[in-house]
Amino acid sequence: MIRVAIVEDNKILRNSIANLLNHEDGMQCVCTLSNLLNAVSEFRKTHPDIVLMDIGLPGISGLEGVRLVKENFEKTEVLMFTVFDDDEKIFEAIKAGASGYLLKKSSTEEIIEAIISLHDGGAPMSASIARKVIQSFQKNSFIIKEDFALTAREKEILHCLTDGMSYKKITEKYFISISTVRTHIRHIYEKLHVNSKAQAVAKALKK
């Protein structure tokens, strides 16, 4: 069971997502908050695996909230859920410790897939966000050297990640199961010595 907390000041949206999660097999919304004032004490009671967090919160911002969560709950993952897609906020969130970045225009399927992906060790991002992350590092063509000992399939999947493709799209492209995709991505992380999609892409581009 994936335990999810939601921090969102829009009551209708907050309740809608909570209802979506509670009707999904293998998921449970354990906490809903409109701000971060009592977040630490609430999370200590409810023990969420993942916090779905808005950036534009009243009082303490979502960016500060990421730091707050990571300082107090090392194993809890934070998935930003926001309307903001500007470069500064994206990189601030990643630097603060967010493991994923999802735009509020995402479909219900994308929200569920992102939560599952994050729980399984991935770093889900909306396609447009992934593209911005890539473009921040990329000036020339994307080249993966042999130094990392990536297999041909691992290179293909890493290319797909840089294009912002979801796990589901990758399974459809290569006719493999989603568990196989996750295994390949886990191996990519191990070989590159990174912990997230953004770090994997950044390291490959730098090398």
All structural domains of the chain: 2-124 (3.40.50.2300), 133-206 (1.10.10.10)
Q: How far apart are the first and last CA of the chain?
A: 38
Characterize the bridge pairing of strands 50-53 and 100-103: unpaired
Whole-angstrom Cα distance, residue 197 to residue 122? Answer: 7
Alpha helices in 35-77 (DSSP H): 39-46, 62-72
- Would you state the pLDDT for residue 139? 47
- Would you state the pLDDT for residue 204? 66
- Would you state the pLDDT for residue 147? 55
The one-digit pLDDT tens for each residue of the chain (207 residues) are 999 999 999 999 999 999 999 999 999 999 999 999 999 999 999 999 999 999 989 999 998 999 899 889 988 999 999 887 776 777 788 878 888 888 888 899 999 999 998 888 888 888 777 777 666 665 444 555 445 788 889 888 888 877 777 788 899 999 999 889 888 888 888 888 777 766 776 666 665
- Would you state the pLDDT for residue 97? 84
Q: Enumerate long-range contacts of 107-116, CB under 8 Å, 24 or more apart.
A: 108/20, 110/166, 111/17, 111/20, 111/52, 111/81, 112/20, 112/21, 112/24, 112/27, 113/166, 113/167, 113/168, 114/79, 115/2, 115/4, 115/21, 115/27, 115/50, 115/52, 115/79, 116/2, 116/26
- Would you state the pLDDT for residue 125? 82
